[in-house]
Structure 1
Amino acid sequence: MTSSGKSKAPGGEARVKVITENRRARFDYTVDEKLEAGLALTGSEVKSLREGIANLSDAYALPKGSELFLLNANIGSYKAASVFDHLPTRGRKLLLHRAEIDRWAAKVRERGYSIIPLVLYFKNGRAKVELGLCRGKNHEDRRQDIKERETKREMDRALRRR
C-alpha cells in the first residue's frame, strides 16, 4: 500500500487487467482522441466483468443532457445473481468531469464524431473504459490502411531474411 492508501504494482504504475477490446472499432473508425472513464455498475455486472463476460462490438457512447451514457455494451449475466441479475445491454452512466463531457458532446453534435469504447479493463480494482472520439472511415481509407499494413509486413519479412 502506498501512503495515499491505493494499492499499486511494483514500480509505482497502476495494475491494469484488460477484460475486452473492441478490435473492430480501429478498422471502422479513425480515432482522433482517447479518454479514460469510469463506469457506474451494479454488483452483478462487476462480477461478470471479473469473469470476462463482456462484448463491446456494437457499443457506443451518447450524451444525454449533461451526462454521457454507454449504450449497447453487452455485459453477460452472472449466474449466481439469479433474481438480482442485471439487463445485459442496459445503458450505463460514464463517470467523467463535466468539462470533458461538454467538450466531447459539442464535437459529437457539431462535427459528426462518434464516441466509441475501445477497451474495457480494471485499473486498481475499478472498472474503466477507454473511449475514443472517432470519425468513420470510408472505403478508400480502409484500403489505404490495408496497403500500409501489407507494406510494413513485407519490410519486416525482408529485415528478418537479412
Structure 2
Amino acid sequence: MVAQNRKARYDYHIEDTVEAGLVLVGTEVKSLRAGHASLVDGYAVVERGEAWLQGVHIPEYAEGTWTNHEPRRPRKLLLHRREIERLIGKTQEAGLTLVPLSLYFKDGRAKVEIAVARGKKNYDKRQALAERQAKREADRAMARRGRED
C-alpha cells in the first residue's frame, strides 16, 4: 500500500469499486516505491472513452534530473472497455463521482482502487462519527469488563 484516501470513506457513500492500472513514467514509479503520494484531492473522469486520474499528487523523485515528472499531471487509467462503459453509465446519475481510495503495487504494477461514490451530507457525516464513537466506547467497556473478571 503506497497511499490511502481515508477521508473518502468519511465524505462519500461508496457504492462500487474498480481496480485500475496506471500509466506512469519512470520517476513516478520510483517516487511511489519510496512511499510518496497523496490521493486527497484526487478524482477520476471519463473523457472520449478513456478514464483519467486527476489531482493525485506524486512528488518529484529526489534523484531525478531533467527527466522528472510534473507532480499533479493527469494520469491515464487502464480499464477494459466494458468497465469504462459501466463507469460512464453510473457517473451520469446525479450526484455520483469517481474517487480514488487507495494506490498500491500488485505483482510489480501500480494499481489504483477507484470507487463510484455519492457525496454525504453534513448530517450523514455527524451520524457516522457518532456511530463510530459509540462503537469505540462499547469496545472499551467490554475490554474493561474482561479485565475485571
Is the 2:16–2:115 Cα contact (8 Å) retained in structure 1? yes
Structure 1 residue 157 displacement after superposition: 1.2
Give TM-score scaled by structure 1 length: 0.87
Is the 2:95–2:119 Cα contact (8 Å) retained in structure 1? no
* Cα root mean square deviation, aligned: 0.9
> Percent identity between the aligned chains?
50
Structure 1 residue 109 displacement after superposition: 1.7
Structure 1 residue 24 displacement after superposition: 1.0
Q: Does 1:115 align with 2:98?
A: yes
Count of residues in Structure 1 that have an aligned counterpart in Structure 2? 145
Aligned-partner Cα distance in 2 for 1:45–1:80: 12
Range with greater deviation from structure 2 (104-113 or 123-132): 104-113
Aligned to 2:16, which of 33, 45, 50? 33
* Matching residue of 1:11: none
* Matching residue of 1:131: 114
SS of 1:99 mapped into structure 2? helix
Aligned-partner Cα distance in 2 for 1:78–1:41: 13
Aligned-partner Cα distance in 1 for 2:130–2:139: 14
Structure 1 residue 107 displacement after superposition: 1.3
Structure 1 residue 144 displacement after superposition: 0.9
Structure 1 residue 112 displacement after superposition: 2.5
Aligned-partner Cα distance in 1 for 2:28–2:69: 7
Q: Does 1:158 align with 2:145?
A: no
> What's the CA shift string for 1:106-143, capped at 9, x where partnerless?
21123321100000001111100011111000011001
* Matching residue of 1:103: 86
Amino acid at match of 1:108: T
* Matching residue of 1:3: none
* Matching residue of 2:30: 47
Q: Does 1:23 align with 2:13?
A: no
Amino acid at match of 2:10: F
Aligned-partner Cα distance in 2 for 1:86–1:141: 39
Range with greater deviation from structure 2 (78-87 or 52-61): 78-87
Aligned to 1:92, which of 75, 83, 87? 75
Point out where structure 1 has 5 or more consecutive residues left out of the alignment: 1-17
Aligned-partner Cα distance in 2 for 1:154–1:53: 34
Structure 1 residue 48 displacement after superposition: 0.6
Aligned-partner Cα distance in 2 for 1:138–1:90: 30
Point out where structure 2 has 5 or more consecutive residues left out of the alignment: none
